[in-house]
Structure 1
Amino acid sequence: MTEQEQILFACVDNCCYFKLRGALRYTNATGMDDLVERLFSHHTGCHRVVVDLNEASFMDSTYIGLLAGLARYCQLQQLPRPTLFSTNAEVNELLFSLRLEQAFDIVQQPTHQVFAMAAIGTQQYTEQQQGEMILRAHEALIALNDSNKSQFQPVVDLLKQQLK
C-alpha cells in the first residue's frame, strides 16, 4: 500500500466520505490535513461526514487530533456529528481513551461503501507547516476534554516554543 492509497475520499449526495488505511502517522498526515482545510474553508456541499477506519492499523496522536479537528469543523458548520466506523480493537481503544466518542458517533462494524473514491496524496509541507499541523491537531485533542489536556499540554507548549 502506498501513501497515496492511505487516504481515499469521495463526496456522494452531500456526504463527505473519508477512508483511512494502514499506519496513520504525522509523517503521512499532510494529505488529510490539506484536504480537511480545503473542504471546510470553501463551504463545499458537504452536509455530512463519515470516516471509515476499518482498514487503519495504527493512529498516532497527530492523526487522532486531525479527526478531532474534523469533528470541530462539523460542529462549527452546524453539521450533524460525524460518523466514524472502526472494527480494529486497538484503534478503538485509543479512540475511546482520547474521548473521541464525545465528538463522533462511533460505529464498531464494517462499512459497505459501493462508490468510487479518489486517492489523496501527501502534500509537500515545510518543516514550519508540518509543525503547525501537529500543533493544531494536539490543540484539537486538548479542546475535546480535560483528561486530554493533562496528557497533551506539554506537547503543545513545546511545539509553540519551537515554532516561534
Structure 2
Amino acid sequence: MIIRVCGRASYLNSMPLGDLFKWMFSSGSSRCIIDFEVCTGIDSTFLGILAGLALELRRQNRLSDCQLCNLNERNYELIQNMGLDRIFKVSRETLIKGNDSDWVHVSGLENQRPTKEMILKAHENLLAINGSNKNKFEDVITFLQRQNGSLNKIR
C-alpha cells in the first residue's frame, strides 16, 4: 500500500490514518510506503499514530515492511527527534514516481473528528518508541488523562 500525505499531517487526519492501519493489519497486510512529498508539516498526534504502526510492526516482527520517504528537511528532523528513524526505514529521496493523476484521492475523511482517547494513545505511543519523548509530552499526556478520567502515572 502506498499512502501519500497531502498538506498538513495533523490530529485532524490522524484518525482515518489509524483506521487505515487497523484495516491493513486485519486484512493480513503490513507492507506500506508513506510518501511525504507534498506534506507541509507534521504534528505530534500524527507522529504518534505512525509510532503506533511501528509498535504493531515490531510486535509482529515486520518492521522492514514500512518505509517513510520524500521527507523534506523539517519533516525529516521531526521524524528523527521523535526516534521514528530508529524503527522505520526513512528516506529523504523519492521512492515513488507518478503524476497527481496516478493517485486516488479519498475524500470525506476530514469529517472524522479525533477523540481524546486517540490523541492520548498517539502520545503514549511516542513515549513507548523513545523514552526521551517523556519530557516533551508529559504535560499533554497528563492533561489528556485527566480529561479522560484515567490518571495513570506516566512511566
| TM-score of the superposed pair, with normalisation by structure 2 | 0.82
AA in 1 matched with 2:106: A
Asked if the contact 2:33/2:68 (under 8 Å) is kept, the reply is yes
Percent identity between matched residues is 30
Number of equivalences = 144
Larger mean Cα displacement after TM superposition, 76-85 or 54-63? 76-85
Asked if the contact 1:30/1:122 (under 8 Å) is kept, the reply is no
1:34 aligns with 2:19: yes
Q: Structure 1: which 5+ runs fail to align?
A: 1-15
Q: Structure 2: which 5+ runs fail to align?
A: 150-155
Task: Please state how far the C-alpha of 1:103 moved relative to its aligned partner.
Answer: 1.4
CA root-mean-square deviation: 1.9
1:108-162 CA-to-partner distances (Å, cap 9, x unmatched) read: 101324565452623534xxx6111101110110111121112112211110110
| Mapping 1:1-164, distance limit 5 Å | 16-40=1-25, 42=26, 44-81=27-64, 82-113=66-97, 116-117=103-104, 119=106, 121-122=109-110, 124-125=112-113, 130-164=115-149
Larger mean Cα displacement after TM superposition, 152-161 or 74-83? 74-83
Task: Please state how far the C-alpha of 1:52 moved relative to its aligned partner.
Answer: 1.0
Q: 1:94 to 1:153 in 2, by over 3 A?
A: same
Alignment partners' CA distance in 2, 1:26 and 1:163: 17
Asked if the contact 1:53/1:85 (under 8 Å) is kept, the reply is yes
1:86-107 CA-to-partner distances (Å, cap 9, x unmatched) read: 3311111111111111111111
